[in-house]
């Protein structure tokens, strides 16, 4: 392209890098929903700096990540790719990912870094019925406050090079043809100057799925006029742009403007100054070094969530952590035990540590027994390397086959003193649905393929049971939680999952992850999310409580933390202001302080969370909204004072006149260890 074309313009090579580069011999980190459970933007930025280097050294210069969709229906198969259900947290962690990819906050792309692309803009995470690409026809206020907000925050804080339009429609207008979304909001309101790329065949869908265009040429005109810069993957629609210019349907000036954005990106990437070269030996050395594995282990340890930890029977103390010499025979049972599933859009690591391997590495002389317990799918449970996303057909095992495997597992459990039971989903049950014969969305959030029967049978042996979950969406498992002493959530936890879990199991690492999405009790609770409106949980169901199985922000530790009552420190009373002016003036309404003390006997990390709610407002407001957080490390008996600054960005909302600003009133500032465990202090704004 540089040497054999008229203008010598270099090209951009694109790849996926959702949780590591999607290639072979790369490092694979936790899936987005697992990664976000660390609440650690500093470490996350390091991960994506490493992923950027692995991409650029192989010739990739633009990646299609991060995923900022706010999930409000976990039946959606792409739930695991996201950073959870909260706009603010997704925005903060998404900003860290972009900084890691690009190596800056001002839009510059540093050496050994790549251009980042935010996706999917917008509403993609709350599609009807949890079906991929289905409509997101919600009110303007919901679109603004939930689905646009993480994109706005990342554009403001990290200036990503690209943004991808989403497949879905909003109010009858698909995003690839939505001038309001891509021009009025993105370009004019947010002053975004980067490229807007289509999703794969997204422009094609305007004429063959949404039926708002007659053919490729008409679809190209709609998408171009709406503000889509690039037609991915093959440009078959935009090959008509030249004809549309000649027909005076597109101006040369507008075409030049779109071309300029692409050329500007190529200059930012340094493609004109330095030709793309691939150093195979350097790439091999990069794949073989230990930096990525160390990062993968660290983030997996920080991201695993201890959901439950209670005594077993009459034994003193909680079941976890295990002492290394406590048990002579440990049974590791379940379909997720010997295969470490990595989640969709995953590369293939050089090493991929399963739970079984990790526990054997740490068991300190104990005999480790193994049984499969049951199969989830026939054609996706026997290979240790991940390629299941690309297998269209899903073949389920028969009940008879699984019944035999359950019987064998019971015999193994009876020989052991304790059982680690690894259950959940593989990639075939939790992935992007992208074709009529390639499914990924679920109508049922319960465990599939006789796994509930496996749990009952193992619990029935009378042995203490630790459940480890591998999955890409929250599962409705109240019976499992009720009947076992300990539950650890591992999501799809990356190449070091087995070692990370073993370190937590035996107490070498204190678990510290917190949920970034709500666990429902049943499918009937959907949608269920913490930042609901006051009337959403006013009445219970006839047969079920409306409270979730596990709330947003929940996560236990092997130590205990005590929170003081939060207090408000007032620096003065600034004038009522809009968010735009507050962003530049730095006006502060107050500072919330809280003292956190480690009251246990083990060093631990705690994630301190700040939520805010305006008691009386011009429109209904969520009962609470996450507005800040801090990850801290405390030694036993150590106390730290955490301060959260409350400025207009934390108080502003879209009022009754759809103006974004701060209203006078009383704001509840709630601080605690989860969205369901908080203490309040009141902040007065205005008269």
Whole-number Cα distances in Å, 552 to 85, 571, 620, 626, 630: 8, 31, 21, 10, 16
pLDDT interval class at 379 (50, 70, 90): confident
| Model pLDDT, residue 282 | 80
195-197 sheet: strands from edge to edge: 14-15, 62-63, 115-121, 162-165, 195-197
Rounded Cα distance between 11 and 263, Å, is 10
pLDDT interval class at 388 (50, 70, 90): low
Handedness of CA 231, 236, 241, 247 (dihedral sign): negative
Residue 511 and residue 571 in one domain:
no
pLDDT interval class at 586 (50, 70, 90): low
588 in any annotated domain: yes
Domain that holds residue 575: 561-685
Residue 296 and residue 237 in one domain:
no
Q: Which are the contacts of 501, defined by CB distance < 8 A and separation ≥ 6? A: 300, 304, 355, 358, 359, 468, 488, 490, 493
Angle at 222 between CA 221 and CA 223, to 5 degrees: 95
Q: What average pLDDT score do residues 371-397 get? A: 79
Supply 529's token pair.
């999310």
Cis peptide leading into residue 122 (ω within 30°): yes
Residue 239 and residue 372 in one domain:
no
Rounded Cα distance between 590 and 532, Å, is 25
Specify the range with the lowest mean pLDDT, choosing from 420-424, 471-475, 660-664.
660-664
636: domain CATH number is 2.60.40.10
- Considering its fold, how many domains does the chain have in total? 3
Q: Of all residues in the chain, what percent carry a pLDDT higher than 70?
A: 96
Count of H-run helices and E-run strands, the chain: 19, 23
Left if phi > 0, otherwise alpha if psi is -120 to 50, otherwise beta: which for 227?
left
Containing 90, the helix (H) or strand (E) segment is helix 87-102
Instruction: Please report where in the chains the tokens 């999501």 appear, as a residue.
Output: 491
At residue 399, the 3 state secondary structure works out as helix
| Model pLDDT, residue 387 | 58
544 in any annotated domain: no
253: domain CATH number is 3.20.20.300
CA atoms within 13 A on the CB side of 205: 22
Residue 194 and residue 341 in one domain:
no
DSSP per position, 666-678: EEEEEEEEETTEE
- List 199, 344, 441, 489, catalytic entry: 199
Residue 151 and residue 293 in one domain:
no
Closest Cα partner for 20 from 11, 32, 33?
A: 32
| Model pLDDT, residue 518 | 98
536 in any annotated domain: no
Residue 254 and residue 395 in one domain:
no
460: domain CATH number is 3.40.50.1700
CA-based end-to-end distance of the chain: 65
Residue 195 and residue 98 in one domain:
yes
Cis peptide leading into residue 233 (ω within 30°): yes
Residue 222 and residue 77 in one domain:
yes
Which of 490, 516, 542 is where one domain is finished? 516
Cis peptide leading into residue 321 (ω within 30°): yes
Residues 595-619: pLDDT tens digits?
A: 999 999 999 999 999 999 999 999 9
pLDDT > 80? residue 286: no
DSSP per position, 264-309: HHHHHTTTTTS-----HHHHHHHHHSSHHHHHHHHHHHHH-EEEEE
Q: Of all residues in the chain, what percent carry a pLDDT higher than 90?
A: 88
Which of 220, 252, 285 is where one domain is finished? 285
pLDDT > 50? residue 161: yes
535 in any annotated domain: no
Left if phi > 0, otherwise alpha if psi is -120 to 50, otherwise beta: which for 453?
alpha
* Phi, psi torsion values for 10, nearest 5 degrees: -70, 160
**Contact between residue 374 and residue 397 where contact means Cβ atoms under 8 Å apart:** yes
Closest Cα partner for 687 from 659, 656, 657, 666?
A: 666
**Contact between residue 161 and residue 265 where contact means Cβ atoms under 8 Å apart:** yes
| Model pLDDT, residue 686 | 86
Distance of CA 526 to the CA centre of its chain: 19
Supply 221's token pair.
């005109």
**Dihedral angle of Cα 470, 475, 477, 480, to the nearest 10 degrees:** 10
Which of 285, 303, 332 is where one domain is finished? 285
86 in any annotated domain: yes
Beta-strand runs (E) in 570-638: 588-598, 604-614, 625-634
Residue 399 and residue 387 in one domain:
yes
Cis peptide leading into residue 66 (ω within 30°): yes
Rounded Cα distance between 301 and 508, Å, is 10
Q: Which are the contacts of 84, defined by CB distance < 8 A and separation ≥ 6? A: 33, 36, 70, 71, 90, 515, 516, 517, 552
251 CB-contact burial (10 Å; exposed 0-12 / middle 13-18 / buried 19+): exposed
pLDDT > 90? residue 430: yes
Residue 369 and residue 480 in one domain:
yes
Residue 271 and residue 368 in one domain:
no
pLDDT > 80? residue 384: no
Residues 225-276: pLDDT tens digits?
A: 999 999 999 999 999 999 999 999 999 999 999 999 999 999 999 999 876 6
Supply 187's token pair.
């370009």
**Contact between residue 527 and residue 72 where contact means Cβ atoms under 8 Å apart:** yes
533 in any annotated domain: no
Quote the crossing angle between the two packed helices 291-303 and 41-56, to the nearest 10°.
150
pLDDT interval class at 1 (50, 70, 90): confident
pLDDT > 80? residue 581: no
Q: Which are the contacts of 257, defined by CB distance < 8 A and separation ≥ 6? A: none
**Dihedral angle of Cα 261, 265, 271, 272, to the nearest 10 degrees:** 40
pLDDT interval class at 585 (50, 70, 90): very low
**Contact between residue 352 and residue 292 where contact means Cβ atoms under 8 Å apart:** no
Specify the range with the lowest mean pLDDT, choosing from 307-311, 536-540, 584-588.
584-588
DSSP per position, 411-433: HHHHHSSEEEEEEE--GGGSS--
- Based on the residue annotation, tell me whether 344 is a catalytic residue of this protein: no
**Contact between residue 324 and residue 10 where contact means Cβ atoms under 8 Å apart:** no
Residues 113-135: pLDDT tens digits?
A: 999 999 999 999 999 999 999 99
542 in any annotated domain: no
Whole-number Cα distances in Å, 617 to 138, 139, 147, 442: 21, 18, 21, 38
The model's pTM: 0.96
Supply 373's token pair.
């317990």
Closest Cα partner for 647 from 554, 580, 597, 601?
A: 580
Handedness of CA 314, 320, 321, 324 (dihedral sign): positive
**Dihedral angle of Cα 13, 14, 20, 24, to the nearest 10 degrees:** -60
527 in any annotated domain: no
Residues 485-521: pLDDT tens digits?
A: 999 999 999 999 999 999 999 999 999 999 999 999 9
Residue 278 and residue 419 in one domain:
no
Q: What average pLDDT score do residues 194-215 get? A: 97
Beta-strand runs (E) in 366-462: 367-371, 418-424
């Amino acid at each position: 392209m540089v040497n054999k074309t008229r203008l010598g313009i270099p090209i951009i090579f694109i790849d996926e890098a959702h949780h590591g580069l999607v290639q072979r011999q790369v490092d694979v980190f936790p899936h987005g929903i697992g990664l976000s459970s660390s609440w650690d933007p500093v470490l996350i930025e390091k991960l994506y700096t490493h992923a950027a280097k692995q991409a650029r050294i192989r010739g990739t210069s633009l990646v299609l990540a991060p995923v900022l969709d706010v999930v409000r229906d976990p039946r959606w198969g792409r739930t695991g790719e996201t950073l959870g259900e909260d706009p603010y947290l997704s925005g903060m962690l998404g900003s860290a990912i972009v900084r890691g990819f690009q190596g800056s906050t001002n839009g510059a792309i540093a050496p050994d870094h790549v251009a980042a692309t935010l996706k999917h803009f917008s509403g993609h995470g709350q599609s009807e019925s949890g079906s991929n690409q289905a409509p997101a026809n919600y009110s303007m206020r919901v679109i603004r406050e939930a689905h646009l907000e993480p994109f706005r925050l990342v554009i403001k804080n990290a200036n990503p090079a690209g943004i991808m339009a989403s497949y879905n429609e909003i109010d009858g207008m698909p995003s690839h043809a939505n001038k309001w979304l891509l021009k009025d909001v993105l370009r004019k309101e947010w002053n975004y100057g980067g490229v807007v790329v289509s999703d794969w065949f997204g422009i094609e869908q305007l004429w063959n799925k949404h039926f708002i265009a007659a053919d490729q040429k008409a679809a190209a005109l709609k998408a171009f006029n709406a503000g889509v810069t690039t037609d991915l993957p093959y440009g078959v629609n935009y090959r008509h742009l030249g004809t549309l210019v000649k027909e005076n349907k597109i101006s040369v000036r507008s075409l030049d403007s779109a071309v300029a954005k692409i050329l500007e990106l190529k200059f930012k990437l340094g493609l004109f100054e330095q030709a793309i070269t691939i150093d195979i030996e350097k790439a091999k050395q990069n794949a073989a070094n230990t930096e990525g594995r160390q990062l993968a282990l660290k983030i997996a340890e920080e991201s695993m969530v201890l959901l439950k930890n209670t005594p077993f029977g009459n034994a003193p103390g909680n079941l976890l952590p295990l002492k290394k010499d406590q048990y002579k025979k440990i049974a590791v049972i379940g379909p997720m035990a010997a295969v470490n599933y990595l989640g969709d859009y995953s590369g293939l690591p050089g090493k991929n540590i399963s739970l079984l391997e990790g526990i054997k590495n740490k068991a300190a002389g104990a005999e480790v027994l193994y049984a499969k317990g049951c199969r989830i799918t026939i054609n996706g449970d026997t290979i240790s390397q991940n390629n299941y996303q690309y297998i269209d057909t899903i073949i389920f095992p028969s009940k008879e086959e699984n019944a035999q495997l359950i019987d064998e597992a019971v015999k193994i459990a009876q020989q052991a003193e304790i059982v680690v039971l690894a259950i959940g989903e593989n990639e075939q049950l939790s992935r992007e649905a992208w074709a009529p014969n390639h499914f990924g969305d679920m109508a049922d959030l319960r465990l599939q393929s006789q796994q509930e029967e496996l749990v009952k049978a193992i619990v029935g042996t009378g042995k203490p049971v630790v459940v480890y979950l591998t999955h890409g969406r929250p599962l409705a498992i109240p019976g499992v939680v009720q009947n076992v002493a300990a539950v650890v959530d591992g999501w799809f936890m990356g190449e070091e999952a087995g070692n990370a879990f073993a370190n937590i199991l035996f107490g070498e690492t204190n678990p510290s992850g917190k949920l970034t999405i709500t666990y429902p009790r049943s499918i009937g609770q959907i949608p269920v999310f913490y930042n609901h409106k006051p009337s959403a949980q006013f009445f219970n169901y006839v047969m079920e409580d409306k409270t979730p199985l596990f709330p947003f922000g929940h996560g236990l530790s092997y130590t205990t933390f005590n929170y003081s009552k939060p207090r408000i420190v007032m620096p003065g009373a600034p004038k009522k202001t809009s968010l735009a002016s507050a962003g530049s003036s730095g006006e502060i309404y107050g500072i919330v302080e809280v003292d956190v003390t480690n009251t246990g006997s083990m060093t631990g990390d705690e994630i301190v969370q700040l939520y805010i709610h305006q008691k009386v407002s011009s429109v209904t407001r969520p009962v609470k909204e996450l507005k800040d957080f801090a990850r801290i490390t405390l030694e036993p008996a150590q106390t730290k004072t955490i301060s959260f600054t409350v400025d207009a960005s934390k108080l502003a909302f879209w009022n009754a006149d759809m103006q974004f600003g701060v209203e006078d009133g009383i704001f509840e500032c709630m601080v605690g260890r989860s969205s369901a465990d908080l203490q309040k202090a009141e902040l007065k704004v205005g008269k």
